[in-house]
């Protein structure tokens, strides 16, 4: 599955875009000045628990938080 397919599926499931997840991560203190302040596990655990994302989908959001766009 391509990165974009993961992002599209996440949007369908949660109604949220990568930018929405960025804002939520900032509110949780996972990002400071646009830079991640936590490890991938904290991000993926949060996404799995709160949004019921699978590991691959959670990692796609993590990658987007790190700056991946395509």
pLDDT at 40: 95
**pTM of the shown model:** 0.92
Domain of 11? 3-66
- The series of mean pLDDT values per 10 residues for the chain, 70 residues long, is 92 96 96 92 97 96 88
**Total domain count, the chain:** 1
Model pLDDT, residue 70: 66
Give the pLDDT score at 68: 82
User: What is the 3-class SS of 3-70, one letter each residue?
Assistant: HHHHHHHHHHHHCCCHHHHHHHHHHHCCEECCEECCCHHHHHHHHHHHHCCCHHHHHHHHHHHHCCCC
């Amino acid at each position: 599955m391509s990165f974009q397919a993961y992002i599209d599926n996440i949007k369908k499931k949660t109604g949220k875009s990568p930018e929405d997840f960025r804002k939520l991560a900032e509110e949780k203190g996972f990002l400071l000045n646009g830079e991640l302040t936590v490890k991938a596990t904290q991000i993926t655990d949060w996404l799995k628990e709160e949004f019921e994302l699978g590991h691959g989908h959670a990692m796609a959001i993590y990658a987007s938080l790190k700056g991946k766009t395509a």
